[in-house]
Amino acid sequence: MSKTYRFLAVLLILMVSQILMAQNNDNPAAGWLACGGCGFAIVMIVVGLGIAIFLAIWVSRDAKARGMDNATLWVVLVIFLGLIGLVIYLIVRPKGNIIKCPSCQGKRLEGSPKCPQCGNA
Ligand SMILES: [Zn+2]
């Protein structure tokens, strides 16, 4: 048995024994609380990840449509700073409406000299 497998086996035994101990608790509410707390943490992580991915995609598309050449940098900033990064982005980004480009149907900033997608005026 390799060291990694032994480590995983010990980890599994620890996890299982913890679950069993939680269920054997005198107070039945404690087990439910522990389980609910765990589920809540998982839901929060999934929701947080979902929001982060959604924001990253939105910022990436918005920054490209506005012709910002550092779109990737803004995506990284929003992922790491979260809501604060988003607020900074909303303040710093070029203001104006996003319109459909008449040439390529892509999104571009209204009044921009050229389309960031196709380069047409
Ligand atoms: Zn275009």
Tokens representing residue 96 in the block: 């104006």
Please state the domain extents for the chain.
33-96
83-110 pLDDT, tens digit each = 899 999 999 999 999 999 999 999 999 9
Where residue 115 falls among pLDDT bands split at 50, 70, 90?
very high
Strand-pair partners of 100 = 107
* Protein residues placing their CB within 5 Å of the ion ligand 1: 101, 103-104, 106, 115, 117-118
SS3 for 2? coil
Q: What pLDDT does residue 83 have?
A: 87
Å from CA of 120 to ligand 1 middle: 6
- In this structure, the number of other CB atoms found within 10 A of the CB of residue 34 comes to 16
Q: What pLDDT does residue 33 have?
A: 73
pTM (predicted TM-score): 0.64
Q: Which of 30-39, 72-81, 91-100, 101-110 is least confident?
A: 30-39
Å from CA of 60 to ligand 1 middle: 17
Q: Is 25's pLDDT higher than 80?
A: no
